């Protein structure tokens, strides 16, 4: 059996067990080890925006299972509507503003969650 004490997410991957003796040919089995962990923000990008133009904010989080994302502006949750679009692709989330107005400038919060935890980061559209 395989016993990994104090396992970390870096130890995720394929492991191989090989049994051999003089009587029979070697038997090889592989097992995939997945280490679950809560979200960790790995990258976030604030952005300068020009009124009347398109702008975006980007947030990336590492997690297993994959994170779910939510966006907030001044503690109010944002949904894809009224010129705003949220695009989530795996470990990355983007908040797109189709046509920047003065009310879009300010502090935004990207929240990443999975069943093991939650984390967030602040981004600015300025």
Give me the residue spans of the domains in the chain. 37-125
Whole-number Å distance between alpha carbons of 118 and 24: 51
In angstroms, how far is CA 100 from the centroid of its own chain?
Answer: 26
The full 3-state SS of the chain, as one line of letters, equals: CCCCCCCCHHHCEEEEEEECCCCCCCEEEEEEECCCEEEEEEEEECECCCCCCCEEEEEEEEEECCCEEEEEECCEEECCCCCEEEEEECCEEEEEECCCCHHHCEEEEEEEEECCEEEEEEEEEC
Question: What average pLDDT is seen over the chain?
Answer: 95
The pLDDT of residue 11: 94
CATH of 37-125, one of 3.40.1190.20, 3.30.43.10, 2.40.50.200, 2.60.40.10: 2.60.40.10
On the CB side of 48, CA atoms within 13 Å amount to 0
The pLDDT of residue 82: 76
Percent of the chain with pLDDT over 70: 100
The pLDDT of residue 110: 98
pLDDT class of 17 with cuts at 50, 70, 90: very high
The pLDDT of residue 32: 94
The pLDDT of residue 118: 99
Give the tens place of pLDDT for each residue, 59-102: 999 999 999 999 999 989 999 887 899 999 999 999 999 999 99
pLDDT class of 109 with cuts at 50, 70, 90: very high
């Amino acid at each position: 059996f395989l016993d990994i004490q104090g396992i970390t997410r870096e130890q995720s991957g394929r492991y191989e067990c090989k049994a051999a003796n003089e009587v029979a040919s070697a038997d090889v089995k592989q097992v995939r080890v997945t280490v679950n962990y809560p979200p960790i923000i790995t990258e976030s990008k604030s952005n300068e925006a020009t009124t009347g133009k398109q702008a975006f904010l980007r947030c990336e989080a590492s997690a297993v299972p994959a994170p779910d994302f939510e966006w907030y502006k001044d503690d109010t949750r944002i949904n894809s509507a009224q010129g705003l679009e949220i695009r989530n692709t795996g470990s990355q989330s983007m908040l797109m503003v189709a046509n920047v107005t003065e009310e879009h400038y300010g502090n935004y919060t990207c929240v990443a969650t999975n069943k093991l935890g939650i984390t967030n980061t602040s981004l600015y559209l300025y």
